[in-house]
Every structure is written in C-alpha cells, then in structure tokens.
Structure 1
Amino acid sequence: MATIFRKPLIDPAKSPIFYGYVILFIGTIGIYCSIPGQTIGVSVFTDPVKDALGLSRNQFSNAYMIGTIVSSLVIGRAGVWFDKYGARYVAFFAALTLGVTLFLCSWSAIMSSYIKELLSLDTWIVPFTVMTVLFFLLRFAGQGVLTMASRNVIMIWFDKNRGKVNSFSSVALSFGFSSSPLWVNFLIEGYGWQQTWQFLAIGLLIFSVFIFIFYKISPEKHGLLPDGAKSLSAAEEEKKVLPKQFTLDEAKKERAFWMYGLTLAFNSFFITGLTFHVVSIFTHEGFIKEDAIAIFLPGSVVA
C-alpha cells in the first residue's frame, strides 16, 4: 500500500503531449463534479426535499445559508492543505467527502425521523439541524475544496497561457453547469430525489479514482516547465519577474483585495439566492418548473 502511494501511476514526463492539457481536461471535469455542492445543483432538490422533511421554504433556505456561511469561515484552511499536501490528495479526499455526504443527504428524511423518535421530539428543529450540517459538508467539500483544488491545479501547469486556458475551462463549465439542472431534474422525475443523490454519490466516488491517478501538483515536480516550454533562455531568465506573493494580512491592506472581494461577494449573494429559489419564483409568476430550469442554458450563452 505504501508503495502505491509513493510511486506515481502516471509519469507526466513520459506523456506524448504536454501533461498540462491532461490536467486541463481532468481538472475541468473535477470542477464540474462539484455541481452537487453548488447552488445550481442543490436548487432542483429544494421542493421535494423540504416537503419530505416537513420544512418551510424559509427554514430550508436558512439551513442552506447557515451551512454556506459556516463553510466560508473555515474554507481558508483548505488553501493550507493544498500548499502542504498538493491538489491530488486534497481533491481526492474532497471528492470522497462529497460522495459520502450525498449518500447522507439521500437518507436525510430517514435520519430526521430516527432522531425525532430517539429524542421523543416532534419539531422542525431536528430536520433543520440535519440539513444545516449536511449543507455545510456539501458546500465545504464541493463548492469549496473540490472546486478550489481542481481550478488551482490547472493554473499551476500554465503561466503565459494561463488566461487562455482559464477561458476555455470557464466556457466549458458555464455550459456544463447551466445544463446540469435539466439532467438532474430528469433523474429526480424518473427515480426520486433520494436515488438521484445516490447516483451522484456513486459518480463522485468513481471519479475520485481518476483524481488520484491523474492530478499532479506541478510541472516542476516532474522535470517539466509550465506551458510545455522546453527551457528558458538566458535572456528570458533575466527578464523573468516573479510575482509578489501576498500573505493574508498583506492582502487585507490592499484596496484591490476589497474591491474584487466585495464585488464577487455581492454577485454570489444575488446569484445564489436567485438560483436556490428559481423554481418557486417562476411558479409564483405562473410558470411551470421546466420553464424555470430551462433559463440556465440560454443564460450560459450570455455568461
């Protein structure tokens, strides 16, 4: 077992193409696999799950909000893990955690009923607490750690072409994310919300094997250079300027940090709220559920 963990199953230096493109492909799929932990992947489950648990829409969305906020308070630790252990292990265990959490989500109604019987309580607080914990795990492992590790491992393998690579990945993910409510809703309609979460969990557990095999922390660790460059000339070495790396305290003192941070935060608050309640909003205005879900795909074209 120890030998398996020490010896790489695939050597990037022996790849017939620059291994960064393999990372681009598999890393993009890794981000896509975080959909069950993203709002766009949870929103389709809102109505059937809250009804099964006996929660109101406000109670269910408040559980989601609390789970998300608590996740955001501890997600910074994942960056430390990424620097210490690398993308391979961080993304692998994040995918495992997300898969196990999805199984627990599929059993949330059963767990809630069991806890009520065990404590002899019949109150909404029990399912509310269960979903708050599960939403924390979903958001932390999926929207947080798996997304961060998968996106960062792509960026590490590129330097000059980092912007181009990021654009290709982002366009693919925009269409992938936007189409996900359609096929997730198809599964829910055909198999029920419990089994759909179990299907997603099995898919994640299978993909975690690919993460462990294909994710590599950096080109330099394998005798390669970013972008597939063969070597740097003396002139390029002299011109090469290393970007300044900011600590957290240093970043907080920069105006740009707060401008970008607050802008992204406002966008996340608005988009998260709209996405989470999109079916209810459309239903209130006289549209059917399918119309609500269908807006994501044309929206991705604009994005």
Structure 2
Amino acid sequence: MSNSSALASKMPFFYGWLIVLSMFAAGMASAGPTLWALSVFAIPMTDDLGWTRATFFGALAARQLLMGALAPIFGRLADTEKWPRILMVFGGSIYALSLVLLSQIDNQLQYFLVLSLLGGIGQASGGGILRQAIVSKWFIRRRGRAIAIGSMGTGMAAFVYPLFAYSLIEFYGWRTAWIWMGVSSFILLVPLALLVRRQPEDIGLLPDGETAAQAEIRRSRAEKGDATAAEEHSFTLAEVTKSKTLWLIVLATMITAPSMQGLTSTWVPYFQDIGFSAGISATALTTYGLFSVLSRIVWGFIVERYHVRKVLMANGSLIALMVLVLINVQMITSAFNFDPVYVVIIFAAFLGIIFGGFIGLNPLLWPNYFGRKFIGSIRGTFTPFVTVSSALGPLWINYIFDKTGEYDLAYIILMVTWLVFVGLMFLAKPMVNSRK
C-alpha cells in the first residue's frame, strides 16, 4: 500500500477534500498578490518608478500570454499519474520566489522578467487551472460544492490581501510588502502540493468517496433508467474539437476573460480616480472578497440541481447589471446624497455575491459538459484562446484610461461582453454521447 493509500484509509473524511483544500490555497496564493493586491501596489509603484498604468499592468498581460502558451503542456500532464504533484511543488516555489524578487526591481525590464516570465512559469505549472482539473477528477455528483469551496480561495484572497498589502505598504513600503507576498504564497502552495494525487483511482478510491457497494447500487439504478445515477461520460479531445458546443464555450469564456483581470485589477485606482480614498477602495475589495467567499458554496449547491449552462446565463446577466452600476456609482452617490463608504461597500457586497459566483461556476463548464477523464488535455488545449483575451484585457482597459483619463468606456465594453456571453451560453447545448 502506498503512503497516500495508507493516509487515505486512516482519514475520517474523503481524501478528495484535501485536494479541494489545495485548490483553495492555490487560489489564495495566485489571486492574492498578483490580482487583488496588485491594484493596491499600482499607484505607489507607478509614482515611485515613474511608469504609466499601461506599463504597470502590461506585465500582467505578458504573464497571461506565457501561461496560455504553457497551458497545453501542463494540461496534458495533469492527466498523467506522477506529474501533477511535481509541477505544483516546482511551480509554487518559483511563483513565491518571483514575488520576493519584485522587491528588488528598479526598471521595466526587471519587472517584466520577474512578474511575467518567472511568475508566469510558476503560476502556470502550480496554479489554479491545473488544480481545478484535478479537483474535477475527484468529484462528480458533489463537483459543484467541491469546486465552489476550492474556488473560495480567490475570494478569500480579495478579503485578505488588499488590506494586508495596504497595511504593509503604509508601514514598510511596497518593496518589503512584496517580500511578505512571496513568503505567504510559499506557505500556501508548497506543503499541500505534496499531498496532491491525480484522481481517486490512483490510491484505490472512487469519486465522491463512494464505496464499492454504493457504486454497485448506483449502477443498478442506472440500468433501471434512473438518469441521476448514470455514469458520467467523458468525451475525448478529438470529439469535443469537432463539436459546435466546444467552440461556443471557448468564445463565451474568451469575451468575458478581460473582466477577470482587467475589471478586478482596476478597482482600487478607479475608485480613487472618482474621489474615494485609498482606504475605502481597499475596503471595497475586502468586502467583495468576504461576500464572494460566502456566496460560492450557495452557487455550488445550485449548480448541482440545475445545469451549469442555465446557472451561468442567469449569473452573466446579473454581472452585466453590476458593471452598469459600477459605471454610475459616483452619480448614484451624488444624486441621492449617500455616504460614499456605504455605497462602495454595498456595491462590493453584491458584486462579490454575483461575480464571485461566476469564478466558482466557470471551472465547472468543462467537466460538466465534457466529463473528467480527459479534462486536463481539453482545458490545456483551449486555455490559450481564453488566456490571450484575458492578457489583452488589462492592456486595452488601461490604454483607454491613459487616452481618456477614465475607465467608463472600458467598463461599458465589458458590460456588453457579458450580455453576449449570455447569448452564447444559450446556444451552447450539451453534447450527446454518440458512442451509446
């Protein structure tokens, strides 16, 4: 019996929940320093180094492009038995080192080499997409809640890291703050990565913690026509590539990808630009993170009852509405003479519930449509399409800011993309198993 099998047999709960915990920690470590906290670093670093915001966030775009180029390689390795754990330990260490080295940069070349190249390699090999694919292999019927809980890490990052970074910058400066970003990321990423295994069958278990007897009863129910007990069908990479559904999903995720980086990373400077203090702006991110974390488990249970397609259509419509509110938040505050602190916090809470739900739902698109067996290869192959769009988001959003002096036009474009997303998901009908 392997060490992992022995550990799994002694545990009072399903080993898959350790895999979920690993995804949670990876989400915190990945999204915390270089997504949520990065917006807090934006003004002090650009003021100190004399850079434009397009330059500052441009490194984020370059990193995303590199991660997209590496995704097909690491995605295929996620479907192998030995490589996931190796990649996660290596990637977590490299990523943490890149954050520490950001404390030493003095020019744009160093910034791009550290954040984009070194950080991109580390995050691609040890970060969220790889761990999302692994969690999908461990759960089928409880996948909604498992992914939801695992994705809470990114929401918790928004709750913890903006104020953490803001406090460190205020007391010690941005250089020392980056050192602590790196230390915290190493602690979150590497120890848990040592416990990761590709799928339950590798250590003698079944998905969802199902026993052999339970599996036999479920198969018997399926043979009698109970659709809820049927085995999940896994489509191959070749099969999904030929389907219209796959390309609709790719396009849908591509057009919303700029919001994932471009919207969230510009919150703090946007609120400061329209007159809110840095403290209020950072508090908005913290509020978002808290409500994002609390809401994801609810979305997870919802998606176990309704197909992910329908849930995402509703979610995308609500996000479009919230972006419209964001564009008009200053007008709402002035028109009704509201306290700006309450307006920002209430907005952040609602967006946390809705946008945080999307972050938890998005990883479910792939396994819930195409099955778990080849999920690493499928996600890895098509992630570059989404990554290019995500990488360009901060660039064109901040380019618009540099040209117009405000983010309003960029946010209007983002709102439209969410409405298009809803239409594309309506068209993306689930695939039919032609091998039956």
1:185-211 Cα deviation digits (max 9, x unpaired): 222222222122111212233334422
Identity of aligned residues (%): 22
Q: Indicate if the aligned counterparts of 2:92 and 2:122 stay in contact, CA closer than 8 A.
A: yes
Corresponding residue of 2:51: 55
Deviation at 1:76?
A: 2.2
Deviation at 1:102?
A: 0.8
Q: Which runs of 5+ in 1 are unaligned?
A: 1-5, 110-126
Which amino acid counterpart does residue 91 of structure 1 have in structure 2?
M
Corresponding residue of 2:114: 134
Corresponding residue of 2:183: 202
Corresponding residue of 1:282: 271
Corresponding residue of 1:103: 100
Partner Cα separation in structure 1 for residue 58 and residue 155 of structure 2: 28
Corresponding residue of 2:156: 176
Deviation at 1:129?
A: 2.5
Partner Cα separation in structure 2 for residue 215 and residue 131 of structure 1: 32
Q: Indicate if the aligned counterparts of 1:24 and 1:154 stay in contact, CA closer than 8 A.
A: yes
Q: Secondary structure at the match of 2:127?
A: helix
Partner Cα separation in structure 2 for residue 167 and residue 265 of structure 1: 21
Corresponding residue of 2:173: 192
Which amino acid counterpart does residue 266 of structure 2 have in structure 1?
H
Corresponding residue of 1:90: 87
Which amino acid counterpart does residue 214 of structure 1 have in structure 2?
L
Task: Determine if the alignment matches structure 1 residue 19 to structure 2 residue 15.
Answer: yes
Check 1:128–1:182 CA distance in 2 against 1; reply closer, same or farther (3 A cut): same
Deviation at 1:283?
A: 2.4
Deviation at 1:286?
A: 1.6
Q: Indicate if the aligned counterparts of 2:78 and 2:134 stay in contact, CA closer than 8 A.
A: no
Corresponding residue of 2:407: none
Q: Indicate if the aligned counterparts of 2:29 and 2:157 stay in contact, CA closer than 8 A.
A: no
Partner Cα separation in structure 2 for residue 156 and residue 281 of structure 1: 39
Deviation at 1:100?
A: 1.0
Number of equivalent positions: 279
1:4-47 Cα deviation digits (max 9, x unpaired): xx855962122222212232233312222212464223222122
Q: Indicate if the aligned counterparts of 2:94 and 2:121 stay in contact, CA closer than 8 A.
A: no
Deviation at 1:236?
A: 0.7
Which amino acid counterpart does residue 195 of structure 1 have in structure 2?
T
Which amino acid counterpart does residue 101 of structure 1 have in structure 2?
S
Deviation at 1:97?
A: 1.0
Q: Indicate if the aligned counterparts of 2:22 and 2:193 stay in contact, CA closer than 8 A.
A: no
Q: Which moved more, 1:236-245 or 1:42-51?
A: 236-245
Q: Indicate if the aligned counterparts of 2:25 and 2:189 stay in contact, CA closer than 8 A.
A: no
Of structures 1 and 2, the one scoring higher in RCO (CA 8 A, sep 6+) is 1
Partner Cα separation in structure 1 for residue 171 and residue 207 of structure 2: 45
Which amino acid counterpart does residue 115 of structure 2 have in structure 1?
F
Partner Cα separation in structure 1 for residue 240 and residue 352 of structure 2: 32
Partner Cα separation in structure 1 for residue 162 and residue 251 of structure 2: 28
Partner Cα separation in structure 2 for residue 286 and residue 259 of structure 1: 40
Check 1:256–1:36 CA distance in 2 against 1; reply closer, same or farther (3 A cut): same
Partner Cα separation in structure 1 for residue 145 and residue 21 of structure 2: 14
Q: Indicate if the aligned counterparts of 1:41 and 1:184 stay in contact, CA closer than 8 A.
A: yes
Corresponding residue of 2:342: none
Q: Indicate if the aligned counterparts of 2:74 and 2:124 stay in contact, CA closer than 8 A.
A: no
Partner Cα separation in structure 2 for residue 300 and residue 44 of structure 1: 18
Structure-1-length-normalised TM-score: 0.80
Deviation at 1:140?
A: 4.3
Corresponding residue of 1:244: 234
- For the aligned residues, what is the CA RMSD? 2.7
